[in-house]
């Protein structure tokens, strides 16, 4: 069967068929998630060993979880992957065995894809999921007859309850080539000579495989230009019109399925109706209750990501500072110490700190997906968001962006349409995230006296709310603009199954959390660590002579540490950059001190507060003043008046509202879009927007 001892097994099935649950049951935590090359489709590969019953030999088996699809004809990038892996024998993941997972309660529709895959003549096993459930409903499936008619082994399973998994593994070892190699649809009859010509080109392809390639060879990335040229010739020679024949094929396939099911399945007299699902839908898609419940769910998610995650984040924060304290004390003072503590450990801390938020958000998303509620959310919100180039599925990424953009960007993966997914990812970081809060709090307190009121409202609070609104409105408007700018060949469909409600499968929830945390820590973490080290080097190194001079100057000063830190930062490379960009940021009302803070806070927005505090420590040897007092007492050297006028503060706030001041978000956007193109575009447009907004605000007010 396989060239080596390893067997490669592809899992294929409709969306909501329980495919991922089966994948988890087969492979456990032994999984790897990556991207397929060049596109943003999750590639999930897992492994397990299967013991042969007779010889007790252990056989290495690799499973690949293919994206869910309703047929082999690709209509999106996800579906194209399934098509390519199964139909192109040269594809690196081309399987030795296919497991087709089929929802027993939806047999007719599932068999469309299943019989297509069987027609490719790769050895197949049909895993009949949730068989026990429909038997309880009184439905009878004649398994032996079904096996005979399909020509492949049929194994009843329940992936959630882990029933039948052992049998399925044994079936993989015992799988046989199909004896009867006739297609379910007489495909040769549809386009006789074409099939033979293609088979001459690609030997051993089954009739149906040849037909599939004729329909979709243009989407196969592994085919050479030469091969494609030859196929072009064959297509034009036979005047092959793919779309028309695909339609005929589908109609005939369903006819064959109808016949087959008539013999193999028996429904009880009073056939089932999903009364529970109907009752729940009456409430959950209700014009008033539906939205009210959805708002409640959103509120809960927001609470979790925003406040519940604070406790674990605090623990992480404390452990990281204990660790850096420990390392600082146990290593000799010097550059290495500083690199490890301020560069690497600080960078690591900056990554791990996001884990609770990611875990909480994906726990909720997994529950919403698994219960079937997510498709209802799309259903009730689609109309509202469609006009802005977003879809019903954008609402959760968008609103969770108000807590933190990183998990929000990751959650955009549930949006099936590429364009809507990209637009959502592009605008999510405009939402006011938690890291902007310390910046806003500081600046608002400087701009507006605490006691100032507008009617009965506290003006500080109102301003804060205003900035949340600015974030949301700009996200929506930019999305609307991008709808016209971003071009996509992929059509946006909303044709979507609304699955019956189920109780959540906690194992799936758990695996989702593990998977997402792993993706973030490993894929985005690498980039974040690299940028952290660069930022650390920029702010701790400068021309050596300058640094020595500072040390010498303050040799005999008491409490010099604070002043030295401040002056060193000023003459570091970050300081030099800050000073050299001063002419560019001067029209926004910023000086070089703010320039330095803009650079260092690229690590994370809240770093702004710390950097400002360090820089403005000059002349405050005891370091007793609060940061607000330090900033307020700073004078403009030209006018002699306070430097932080309301105009400067507002300009700075607007800058932080729009600018992409977060390396972790850029890193995760890189990971999620599989390249630097989109993060670069995002960085540029957000910076431009920030500059423009600050420029206008400052010039008007000053």
3-state secondary structure (DSSP) of residue 60: strand
Paired sense of beta strands 58-65 and 7-13, if any: parallel
CB of 439: closest distance to other proteins in angstroms? Answer: 38
- Identity of the residue, 94 or 386, whose beta carbon is nearer to other proteins in the bound complex: 386
SS (H, E, C) 418-451: HHHHHHHHHHHHHCCCCCHHHHHHHHHHHHCCCC
- Contacting residue, 250, 338, 458, 633, with other proteins by CB under 8 A: 250
Instruction: List, in order, residues 6 or more apart from 238 with CB less than 8 Å away.
Output: 191, 193, 194, 197
Size of the site for other proteins (CB under 8 A): 42
Of 94, 407, 30, nearest to 222 by C-alpha is: 94
Q: Please answer whether residues 346 and 664 qualify as being in contact, where contact means their C-beta atoms are separated by less than 8 angstroms.
A: no
- Contacting residue, 291, 480, 510, 685, with other proteins by CB under 8 A: 291
- Contacting residue, 196, 490, 497, 582, with other proteins by CB under 8 A: 497
CB of 8: closest distance to other proteins in angstroms? Answer: 26
CB of 102: closest distance to other proteins in angstroms? Answer: 13
Q: Is 265 among the residues that bind other proteins (CB under 8 A)? A: no
CB of 291: closest distance to other proteins in angstroms? Answer: 7
- In whole angstroms, give the CA distance from residue 233 to residue 243: 18
- Identity of the residue, 105 or 338, whose beta carbon is nearer to other proteins in the bound complex: 105
- Contacting residue, 39, 298, 496, 621, with other proteins by CB under 8 A: 496
Q: Is 268 among the residues that bind other proteins (CB under 8 A)? A: no
Q: Is 18 among the residues that bind other proteins (CB under 8 A)? A: no
CB of 108: closest distance to other proteins in angstroms? Answer: 5
Instruction: List, in order, residues 6 or more apart from 60 with CB less than 8 Å away.
Output: 5, 6, 7, 47, 49
CB of 682: closest distance to other proteins in angstroms? Answer: 29
Q: Exposure string (b/e) for 333-350, b if CB count within 10 Å is 16 or more? A: eeeebbeebbbbbbbbbb
- In whole angstroms, give the CA distance from residue 216 to residue 86: 13
Q: Is 247 among the residues that bind other proteins (CB under 8 A)? A: yes
Name the one range near other proteins by CB under 8 A: 101-109, 152-160, 434-442, 551-559. Answer: 101-109
- Contacting residue, 2, 33, 39, 112, with other proteins by CB under 8 A: 112
- Contacting residue, 51, 91, 105, 674, with other proteins by CB under 8 A: 105
Q: Is 425 among the residues that bind other proteins (CB under 8 A)? A: no
Print the binding letters for residues 360-399 with other proteins: x by CB under 8 A, - otherwise. ---------------x--xxx-xxx-x-------------
Element (H, E) at 626: none
- Contacting residue, 299, 454, 494, 506, with other proteins by CB under 8 A: 494
Instruction: List, in order, residues 6 or more apart from 347 with CB less than 8 Å away.
Output: 528, 529, 531, 532, 533, 536
Q: Is 286 among the residues that bind other proteins (CB under 8 A)? A: yes
Instruction: List, in order, residues 6 or more apart from 114 with CB less than 8 Å away.
Output: 100, 102, 126, 150
- Identity of the residue, 68 or 350, whose beta carbon is nearer to other proteins in the bound complex: 68
Helices (H), 505-645: 506-518, 525-540, 544-553, 560-571, 573-580, 582-585, 592-600, 607-615, 627-633
Of 166, 144, 140, 162, nearest to 153 by C-alpha is: 144
Of 339, 338, 475, 340, nearest to 394 by C-alpha is: 475
Q: Please answer whether residues 50 and 59 qualify as being in contact, where contact means their C-beta atoms are separated by less than 8 angstroms.
A: yes
- Contacting residue, 91, 147, 219, 254, with other proteins by CB under 8 A: 254
CB of 14: closest distance to other proteins in angstroms? Answer: 9
- Identity of the residue, 251 or 336, whose beta carbon is nearer to other proteins in the bound complex: 251
- In whole angstroms, give the CA distance from residue 50 to residue 61: 7
Sites for other proteins among residues 401-420 (CB under 8 A):
none
Q: Is 285 among the residues that bind other proteins (CB under 8 A)? A: yes
Sites for other proteins among residues 45-84 (CB under 8 A):
70-71, 73, 75
Burial degree of 694 (CB within 10 A; 0-12, 13-18, 19+): buried
| Site residues for other proteins per CB under 8 A | 70-71, 73, 75, 105-106, 108-109, 112-113, 243-244, 246-247, 250-251, 254, 277-278, 281, 285-287, 290-291, 375, 378-380, 382-384, 386, 491, 493-500
């Amino acid at each position: 069967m396989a060239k080596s001892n390893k067997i490669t097994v592809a899992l294929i099935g409709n969306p909501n068929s329980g495919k991922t649950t089966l994948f988890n049951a087969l492979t456990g935590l032994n999984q790897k998630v990556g991207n397929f090359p060049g596109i943003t489709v999750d590639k999930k590969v897992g492994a397990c060993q299967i013991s042969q019953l007779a010889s007790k030999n252990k056989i290495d088996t690799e499973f690949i979880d293919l994206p869910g699809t309703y047929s082999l004809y690709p209509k999106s990038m996800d579906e194209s992957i399934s098509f390519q892996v199964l139909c192109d024998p040269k594809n690196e993941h081309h399987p030795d065995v296919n497991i087709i997972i089929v929802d027993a309660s939806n047999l007719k529709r599932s068999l469309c894809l299943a019989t297509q895959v069987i027609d490719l003549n790769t050895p197949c096993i049909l895993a009949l999921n949730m068989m026990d459930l429909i038997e309880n409903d009184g439905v009878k499936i004649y398994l032996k007859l079904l096996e005979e008619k399909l020509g492949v082994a049929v194994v009843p399973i329940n992936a959630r309850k882990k029933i039948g998994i052992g049998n399925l593994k044994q079936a993989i070892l015992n799988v046989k080539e199909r004896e009867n190699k006739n297609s379910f649809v007489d495909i040769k009859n549809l386009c006789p000579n074409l099939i033979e010509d293609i088979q001459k080109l690609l030997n051993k392809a089954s009739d149906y495989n040849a037909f599939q390639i004729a329909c979709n060879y243009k989407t196969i990335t592994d085919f050479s230009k030469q091969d494609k040229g030859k196929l072009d010739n064959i297509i034009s020679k036979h005047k092959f019109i793919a779309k028309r024949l695909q339609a005929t094929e589908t109609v005939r396939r369903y006819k064959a399925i109808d016949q087959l099911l008539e013999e193999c399945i028996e429904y009880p007299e009073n056939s089932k109706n999903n009364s529970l699902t109907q009752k729940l839908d009456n409430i959950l898609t209700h014009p008033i209750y539906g939205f009210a419940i959805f708002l409640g769910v959103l509120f809960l998610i927001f609470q979790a990501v925003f406040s519940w995650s604070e406790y674990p984040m605090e623990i992480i924060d404390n452990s990281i500072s204990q660790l850096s304290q420990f390392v600082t004390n146990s290593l000799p003072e010097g550059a290495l110490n500083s690199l490890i503590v301020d560069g690497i450990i600080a960078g690591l801390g900056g990554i791990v700190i996001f884990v609770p938020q990611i875990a909480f958000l994906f726990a909720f998303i997994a529950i919403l997906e698994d219960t079937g509620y997510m498709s209802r959310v799309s259903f009730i919100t689609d109309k509202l968001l469609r006009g802005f180039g977003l879809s019903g599925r954008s609402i959760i990424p968008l609103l969770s962006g108000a807590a933190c953009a990183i998990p929000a960007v990751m959650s955009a993966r549930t949006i099936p349409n590429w364009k809507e997914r990209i637009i959502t990812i592009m605008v999510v970081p405009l939402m006011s995230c938690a890291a902007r809060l310390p910046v806003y709090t500081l600046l608002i307190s400087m701009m507006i006296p605490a006691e100032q009121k507008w009617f009965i409202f506290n003006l500080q609070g109102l301003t804060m709310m205003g900035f949340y609104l600015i974030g949301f409105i700009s996200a929506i408007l930019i999305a609307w603009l991008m709808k016209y700018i971003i071009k996509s060949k992929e059509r946006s469909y909303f044709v979507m199954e609304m699955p019956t409600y189920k109780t959540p499968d906690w194992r799936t929830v758990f695996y989702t959390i593990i998977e997402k945390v792993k993706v973030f820590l490993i894929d985005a973490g690498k980039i974040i660590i690299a940028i952290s080290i660069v930022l650390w080097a920029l702010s701790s190194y400068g021309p050596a002579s300058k640094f020595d001079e500072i040390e010498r100057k303050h040799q005999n000063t008491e409490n010099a540490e604070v002043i030295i830190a401040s002056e060193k930062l000023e003459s570091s490379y970050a300081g030099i950059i800050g000073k050299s960009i001063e002419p560019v940021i001067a029209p926004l009302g910023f000086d070089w001190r703010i320039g330095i803070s803009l650079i260092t806070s690229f690590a994370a927005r809240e770093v702004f507060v710390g950097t400002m505090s360090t820089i403005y420590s000059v002349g405050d040897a005891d370091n007793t003043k609060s940061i607000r007092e330090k900033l307020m007492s700073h004078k403009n050297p030209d006018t002699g008046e306070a430097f932080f006028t309301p105009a400067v503060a507002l300009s700075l706030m607007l800058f932080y509202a729009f600018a992409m001041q977060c390396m972790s978000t850029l890193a995760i956007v890189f990971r999620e879009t599989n390249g630097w193109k989109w993060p670069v575009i995002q960085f540029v447009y957000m910076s431009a927007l920030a500059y423009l907004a600050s420029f206008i605000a400052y010039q008007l007010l000053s």
